[in-house]
Structure 1
Amino acid sequence: MKVKSIIGKLEASIDTFLEQKKHLSEYSIRNHKLDISKLIFFLNENLDQEFNLDLVRKFISELRKSTSKTSIRRIISNVGTYFEYLIDQEKIEKNFFSEISPPKIGKKLPSIATTDEIDEMIRCIDKSKNLGKRDHAIIEFIYSAGLRVSEVNNLNIQDIDLNQNQAVIFGKGSKYRSVIFSESTSKILKDYLEIRDNSKKEKAFFLSNSGVRISIRSIQHIVKKYISLAGLNPKYHTHTLRHSFATHLLDGGADLRVVQELLGHTSPKTTEIYTHISVEKSRDVYTNAHPKA
């Protein structure tokens, strides 16, 4: 089959495919669209070629020149999912991406901020201003409850019980879970609610400057801003607070199963990476302190 005969089918079905992915996060949907667009761009440069396994391998080979292994794995998965959809819709007959082995990547331990570093971030916030109170509440809540940025974005007023210090979170895979947070975090959230703009009757808990639900990008920008002001590792980001939450709990003696449930991980293997971080930390302490090390 020539590329010319398939490219129209690929372009025409993207929107209906993405309609079925509404349960995914904003970023996941965006990545699906971008990844499919990368393939379409490549195919437009190879219109006279046969669309077969060799051409798909050439596409992956081109990606390797400027794309990380992690991103290539995601592209193979996302485009492969799209081709399975097209097969179900009887638009195409074969999914060549199912025959491509994704590149192997080594296990990389996430960066962890210390409690002192997180405190320094919070000290950099001007809490006398309304936006400062909001930013303080966002950072404190992410770290106190171990939230993903999309979960903070999805949070609504009715999801939080400040009397019980707990919240119902709409998380990854369209699953709900309960999280708990400290009394001090509860007070910070209450301080934010006192200055929150209620004029538009917006149901979102955290609002932007214009009084609507704050975007994922804005939350990321807020966290990055205070990481920079505090002079912390520039590789730190919003998810670093979630990683730090999990690691600090395990360092404090929390049971792995409890941490798994608080993070919303389906498998304990996902949570186990934080035990590796704690082991690495112990190794560093031993190496630096033991006279025979």
Structure 2
Amino acid sequence: MPSDLIDSYSSYQRSESRSDRTIDDRKRILSTLDQELPYGIEGTSEEELRDWLWRDGLSLSSRETYYGAIADFYKWAAAEGHFEFNPVERITRPKPPQRLPRPVTDEQLTYALACAREPYLTFIKLAAYAGERCIDIAHQRRELISEQAVSIVQSKGGKARVVPTHPVIWEAVRDLPQGPVTGLDERQISISTANYFSRTLKMPGVTLHRFRHWFGTMVQRLYKDLRVTQELMGHADPRTTAGYALVAAEQTRAAIDLLPDFSAALAAAGLAAAAPRSLR
């Protein structure tokens, strides 16, 4: 019975246009939950769910992910009449850790644009100049890109968006045939690009998502409007976008370096040891 209930929930998620990755991840979490709870997912209580969610050894990030899965499941199950009440309703959502963007540098982007071969070059351009995720690229089609706009119709959380087309992207796709930009799925794009950057371009630690971070960071730095950045990045939660407004370390260093240093002038005038009369 629990497996049937989880399958029904998976069908519901598909009807809500959730991504295959989200559906698979939540099915795995719920199956684990059903195995580890004393009476499974159908016979559990608020206290048992709270203890499972806040058990020792679970990272804050994992706790947040697990909460999202079980909260959505029990909300759906209660609304559909599978349960008389929602046992997660009074459990506090874990405060998510602050995730700061890790953009590639301008130099890394320049090098990648100059040296990458296809299809990685097109992937880089879609990430760096339209903020596309791997899932966006996996579902991107040539007919959804015009000289004016890039339509991203199937993205994380089912949130569609439209991004004005940058000339770099239009140059990359205008001669492509109609149909999918790539035949790879989200996971294949993520793994293959990370391997390519590390082994071929000798850029260890660089992932395709970091080119998306460059896009968000530059949009915010140049236009300075979090709402615009949120829309272009496709963030459902503005708190996610807020990280792009944090001043980069190199900017703080540059600001400190601009402060005047009077020590050399004081030494030259023989006043290094003298204090102003008002401070004596």
On the 8 A contact 2:99/2:243 being kept in 1, the answer is no
Q: 1:178 aligned to 2:162?
A: yes
Partner-residue secondary structure (3-state), 1:122: helix
Shift of 1:176: 3.2
Q: Which amino acid aligns with 1:14?
A: I
Q: Which stretch shows the higher mean deviation, 258-267 or 144-153? A: 258-267
Q: Higher Cα Rg: structure 1 or 2?
A: 2
Q: 1:104 aligned to 2:92?
A: no
C-alpha distance in 2 between matches for 1:184 and 1:103:
41
Shift of 1:226: 3.6
TM-score calculated relative to the size of structure 2? 0.78
User: Per-residue CA shift, 1:201-242, capped at 9, x if unaligned?
Assistant: xx32222xxxxxx100111123212431444452x4332221
Partner-residue secondary structure (3-state), 1:178: strand
On the 8 A contact 2:230/2:238 being kept in 1, the answer is yes
On the 8 A contact 1:80/1:97 being kept in 2, the answer is yes
Q: 2:77 corresponds to which residue?
A: 86
C-alpha distance in 1 between matches for 2:226 and 2:49:
42
C-alpha distance in 2 between matches for 1:58 and 1:257:
38
C-alpha distance in 2 between matches for 1:13 and 1:47:
15
User: Per-residue CA shift, 1:85-138, capped at 9, x if unaligned?
Assistant: 22223222233222322333442312121111122233442xxxxxx3222111
Q: 2:151 corresponds to which residue?
A: 168
Match of 2:21 among 19, 23, 27: 27
Q: 1:276 aligned to 2:237?
A: no
Match of 1:151 among 106, 114, 136: 136
Q: 1:227 corresponds to which residue?
A: 197
RMSD: 2.7
Partner-residue secondary structure (3-state), 2:161: strand
Q: 1:136 corresponds to which residue?
A: 121
Inter-CA distance 281–93: structure 2 relative to 1 (3 Å threshold): farther
Inter-CA distance 288–35: structure 2 relative to 1 (3 Å threshold): farther
C-alpha distance in 2 between matches for 1:174 and 1:17:
16
Partner-residue secondary structure (3-state), 1:97: coil
Q: Which stretch shows the higher mean deviation, 83-92 or 146-155? A: 83-92
Shift of 1:245: 0.3
C-alpha distance in 2 between matches for 1:287 and 1:84:
51
Q: Which amino acid aligns with 1:40?
A: D
Inter-CA distance 108–277: structure 2 relative to 1 (3 Å threshold): farther
On the 8 A contact 2:139/2:180 being kept in 1, the answer is yes
C-alpha distance in 2 between matches for 1:237 and 1:273:
19
Gaps of 5+ in 1: 1-7, 126-131, 208-213
Shift of 1:248: 1.5
C-alpha distance in 2 between matches for 1:96 and 1:119:
52
C-alpha distance in 2 between matches for 1:277 and 1:36:
39
Q: Which amino acid aligns with 2:23?
A: I
C-alpha distance in 1 between matches for 2:226 and 2:85:
43
Partner-residue secondary structure (3-state), 2:163: strand
Q: Which amino acid aligns with 2:243?
A: I
Inter-CA distance 59–174: structure 2 relative to 1 (3 Å threshold): closer
Q: 1:4 corresponds to which residue?
A: none
Number of residues paired by the alignment?
255
C-alpha distance in 1 between matches for 2:142 and 2:209:
23
Percent identity between matched residues is 22
Gaps of 5+ in 2: 262-280
Q: 1:72 corresponds to which residue?
A: 63
On the 8 A contact 1:124/1:226 being kept in 2, the answer is no
Q: 1:5 corresponds to which residue?
A: none
Shift of 1:82: 1.1
C-alpha distance in 2 between matches for 1:182 and 1:147:
13
C-alpha distance in 1 between matches for 2:182 and 2:87:
44
On the 8 A contact 1:35/1:75 being kept in 2, the answer is yes
Q: Which amino acid aligns with 1:150?
A: I
C-alpha distance in 2 between matches for 1:204 and 1:140:
16
On the 8 A contact 2:67/2:94 being kept in 1, the answer is no
Q: 1:205 corresponds to which residue?
A: 181
Inter-CA distance 238–31: structure 2 relative to 1 (3 Å threshold): same
